[in-house]
Structure 1
């Protein structure tokens, strides 16, 4: 059975740097699991690896689409599976690196996505709000009304399973019961990086400041100027928040603060998604200074173990 390693976690935690080191050590190549890094020209705002870093290890699903294109989780899934198949035939290891949870989940769960399907952060927030306000019964009521077929398949005492079923149904238009093809096509080891909240948020804030120094405004300006022809890329964090500045409706400082705030909220949603919906081996990079050596040891065992 194919074996795939993924590096996940909140924005700015250091996924790309770790993925690069691991791919170099374990004869691997990197598959970007980020929904925005596929776009050519969106380099600074998406925290894309530098040209030097991209040249150290082959990267896939980076700079493959124009900003005027639509890109769905189905596109990602089909392309990623083909890349993993090709690398396996070359006796190379696949490292999926990125923070778009639904993209990675489409691989791990082997979802049958049919036509187009896109992740939706607002939907996840809506369902988590329902859980906070109405508890698990509120989620069960939504699932009962929208996808009763899936109620027979999942643990109704587990809110993360209910949320996943509702999410899949709303995104794909089909029952979760129709999403899995029943074949476990690959074995996954998911590595999760996290950090103390204050340290992570400080890192996010500093990264936004660095992006400005690198020329973020020059990168965003053509996106703003051509926003009517850009269906998805214009909505990325780090881009949409600057539109009021170009429109003369807000000053630069307030727009940058909005980027920082939205990035922090996004990091929180990422952690919630991965913790609640996926089987991740977590490492706190502040509490475990030797986390990389521990991860390398586990990867060695994972790659050398038997196939189920």
Structure 2
């Protein structure tokens, strides 16, 4: 399997800088895994890598979509798969950087996408509850008893994949190992970045202030001239809060505070998702910038492992 590094975590913890450093040291290329950075002209509110940052390492899946176009998880997977293959064939390391968890799940797990996707939210939640109450090993043993082939490919600690396999088995009545996946499987290494909650929230608040100073309002005005709130891109944090109050200066301060609150809530959801749905290796580069050496060492060790 092709090895792929994924740099994940909430906003304002250094994902962009780390991805660039890894790309430079490990001869890598960066694929954005963010659902909003695909949109052209929306640079500030989406926290895209700047032109100077993008010049430091090859970047992909940034500025590929107009703001009036939807960008679905299926489109992301369809775009990312050939990119990963091409990067691998060039002898480079694919590095996916971004915080849209479901996009990465669909890419790495080959989830069936569309109306025919086998799944049942109630079954899924029940299985997750078993993992929480009885431990992931109990859930994995269920899978091993029902589908040993699938279990042999899923680590006992990977709750996300174990739940997915059992869910598909229960919904379809067929072995998960017999399912046709939507795409290739990868050997992924998740690097999770985080920091202490008060510090994270402080950095998020500061980032929003920096965005406003950098011209976020002008970016939102540009979007408003193109039908504004009706556009797919308008659902992003930073845009949805400001679009309704552009002509109401007295409400701008409250809208900016709302952006900060929504960003903090989103960061909390991101962390919860990645902790429960991935086997990420977590690091704090904010309080311990020197740990980047350990990250590089860990990635190098993983790269030498056989699939």
Instruction: Give the TM-score normalised by the residue count of structure 1.
Output: 0.79
Asked if structure 1 preserves the Cα contact closer than 8 Å seen for 2:107 and 2:183, the reply is no
Equivalenced residues, count:
278
Provide closer, same or farther for how the CA distance between residues 286 and 40 of structure 1 changes in structure 2, counting only shifts above 3 A. Answer: closer
| Residue-by-residue CA offset, 1:184-209 (whole Å, 9 max, x unaligned) | 63201000000000101000000111
Asked if structure 1 preserves the Cα contact closer than 8 Å seen for 2:229 and 2:243, the reply is no
State the SS of the aligned residue for 1:208: helix
How far did residue 91 of structure 1 move?
A: 0.4
For 1:1-308, what aligned pairs fall within 5 Å after superposition?
A: 1-114=1-114, 136=129, 161=160, 181=181, 185-227=185-227, 230-248=230-248, 251-286=251-286, 288-306=288-306, 308=307
Provide closer, same or farther for how the CA distance between residues 305 and 48 of structure 1 changes in structure 2, counting only shifts above 3 A. Answer: same
Asked if structure 1 preserves the Cα contact closer than 8 Å seen for 2:33 and 2:103, the reply is yes
How far did residue 112 of structure 1 move?
A: 2.2
RMSD: 3.7
Long gaps (5+) in structure 1: 118-123, 125-129, 140-149
Q: Distance in 2 between matches of 1:229 and 1:263?
A: 19
How far did residue 246 of structure 1 move?
A: 1.6
Q: Distance in 1 between matches of 2:179 and 2:231?
A: 26
Q: Distance in 2 between matches of 1:25 and 1:93?
A: 10
How far did residue 222 of structure 1 move?
A: 2.3
Instruction: Give the TM-score normalised by the residue count of structure 2.
Output: 0.79
Asked if structure 1 preserves the Cα contact closer than 8 Å seen for 2:26 and 2:93, the reply is yes
Provide closer, same or farther for how the CA distance between residues 175 and 88 of structure 1 changes in structure 2, counting only shifts above 3 A. Answer: farther
Provide closer, same or farther for how the CA distance between residues 180 and 10 of structure 1 changes in structure 2, counting only shifts above 3 A. Answer: farther
Corresponding residue for 1:144?
A: none
Q: Distance in 2 between matches of 1:42 and 1:182?
A: 30
Corresponding residue for 1:142?
A: none
| Residue-by-residue CA offset, 1:113-139 (whole Å, 9 max, x unaligned) | 14799xxxxxx9xxxxx99xxx949x9
| Residue-by-residue CA offset, 1:160-186 (whole Å, 9 max, x unaligned) | 759x76xx99xxxx9996976298632
| Residue-by-residue CA offset, 1:208-233 (whole Å, 9 max, x unaligned) | 11111111000001222333685320
Q: Distance in 1 between matches of 2:220 and 2:103?
A: 25
Q: Distance in 1 between matches of 2:238 and 2:289?
A: 30
Provide closer, same or farther for how the CA distance between residues 175 and 221 of structure 1 changes in structure 2, counting only shifts above 3 A. Answer: farther
Provide closer, same or farther for how the CA distance between residues 259 and 175 of structure 1 changes in structure 2, counting only shifts above 3 A. Answer: farther
State the SS of the aligned residue for 1:251: helix
Provide closer, same or farther for how the CA distance between residues 40 and 286 of structure 1 changes in structure 2, counting only shifts above 3 A. Answer: closer
State the SS of the aligned residue for 2:82: helix
